[in-house]
Structure 1
Amino acid sequence: MKTAATQRSARLLSIATTVAAWAIAGTALAQGVLVPQAPAAAPQDTLTRAATSVGIKRCLPAITRLATLTVQGSRGHDVLLDWDRKRPDDGPMFSLVGIQYPNAGVAASITAIPGDGGSCTVSAERISVAPFTCQSVAEQELKDYQMTRLLPIYAVYSDPKEPTSSVSLIDSPPGCLVIRRYVEYGWRDPATPAAASAPAAAPAGQAPKRR
């Protein structure tokens, strides 16, 4: 006769086996696979582990760099992943990351698209809600940025020194919707021979940085 502890262990093993099968088959959701949250002590972020498990290799260093910076300091995070099942390492990868902080929740989107000659186009967006007016956020954090007004409630801020990054502020009383965006075309892994032989000043030789 099974004990209660044995029955609980069997149920947990069954759940873990089912989740693993979903991840491998890519059929957990119509859009993608929802990967279980990694333990706090895991050596890799959840997005890196998910991308690795489905066969994404070429853009993985860029994905890891952006994902690690995106979830830094969080209490936990989960990932919704979508990719080309037929060409996982040659097609685009899209992800939505839900991030939990002690006092707030944040969403992030990380995209990687393989290009010619081993390059990748990568982008990342971080979406949060500030419990302040957009004007106060701009005054405190974006003093040296140039502002472009798109709508009465929507303004985009950019720094001429970082043309691939922007911060969008959308009035949403009583707070402000903040979207920080970064994109880089022709990114190459500095560890690859092709990247190592490229001129030092070439933008393609730089790793993605947090904005």
Structure 2
Amino acid sequence: MKTSTQRFARLLPAVAAWALAGTALAQGVLVPQAPAAPPQDTLTRAATSVGIKRCLPAITRLATLTVQGSRGHDVLLDWDRKRPDEGPMFSLVGIQYPNAGVAASITAIPGDSGSCTVSAERISVAPFTCASVAEQELKNYKMTRLLPIYAVYTDDKEPTSSVSLIDSPPGCLVIRRYVEYGWRDPSAPAAAPASAAPAAPAGQAPKRR
């Protein structure tokens, strides 16, 4: 069985001097992991401070992976001021690495019965052509050409993840995208099933309610 680390690592560059330990986002990043130290990422602290609770576990896991290995980061947050825990949350995270800057966007939308729809994008610039990035890192991905300068790469094994490459000479704009619908916190206690009414004794009709 693949671990969550193995799953999202499928989108990590094989040789990524331009990313320098940046973490990619792919399907499976919300799979439960071993208990970790209390979250220190800025997005989790900001979301907590404005009253976001329902989708906070998903936000924390995505944010922790997104800023892993960075030198520093900060966040721009938008949320529903009237219903902070029931409305959507949008964020833009600026991330600093020793030799590179990266932007990330994390969105969480509460759904029915405690579920959340989440998306995350990691945006970076590679100092290579998009063709060389695709050749080196995305050989086994399916390519769909949307514009002469814009191609999207997907893997059937990771249907809710994609990598977009946009030519921006002399480099390449790389957008790694992850989406999951109806996510539920696996560590949350399951709802207790409704208790059934006791069966009537044999030969006796059930009482009317």
Q: TM over 0.5: same fold?
A: yes
Q: Is the 8 A contact 2:165 2:172 kept in 1?
A: yes
Deviation for aligned residue 1:170: 0.2
Deviation for aligned residue 1:194: 3.1
Task: Determine helix, strand or coil for the equivalent of 2:18.
Answer: helix
Q: Distance in 2 between matches of 1:186 and 1:78?
A: 28
Task: Determine helix, strand or coil for the equivalent of 1:209.
Answer: coil
Deviation for aligned residue 1:192: 1.3
Task: Determine helix, strand or coil for the equivalent of 2:40.
Answer: coil
Q: Under a length normalisation based on structure 1, what TM-score does the superposition of the two structures give?
A: 0.73
Deviation for aligned residue 1:193: 2.1
Higher helix share: 1
Q: Is the 8 A contact 1:55 1:89 kept in 2?
A: yes
Q: Is the 8 A contact 2:7 2:27 kept in 1?
A: no
Q: Distance in 2 between matches of 1:107 and 1:204?
A: 68
Deviation for aligned residue 1:84: 0.1
- 1:55 matched to 2:25: no
Q: Under a length normalisation based on structure 2, what TM-score does the superposition of the two structures give?
A: 0.73
Deviation for aligned residue 1:191: 1.1
Higher-Rg structure is: 2
Q: Where does residue 206 of structure 1 map in the other structure?
A: 204
Specify every segment of 5 or more residues in structure 2 that has no aligned partner in the other structure, as ranges: none
Aligned residues: 206
Q: Is the 8 A contact 1:188 1:195 kept in 2?
A: no
Shift of the 170–68 alpha-carbon distance from structure 1 to 2, 3 Å rule, reads same
Query: Relative to structure 2, which stretch is displaced further, 126-135 or 41-50?
Result: 41-50
Q: Distance in 2 between matches of 1:203 and 1:76?
A: 69
Q: Is the 8 A contact 1:166 1:181 kept in 2?
A: yes
Specify every segment of 5 or more residues in structure 1 that has no aligned partner in the other structure, as ranges: none
Q: Which has the higher contact order (CA 8 A, sep 6+)?
A: 2
- 1:25 matched to 2:24: no
Across the aligned residues of Structure 1 and Structure 2, the Cα RMSD in angstroms comes to 17.5
Q: Is the 8 A contact 2:76 2:91 kept in 1?
A: yes
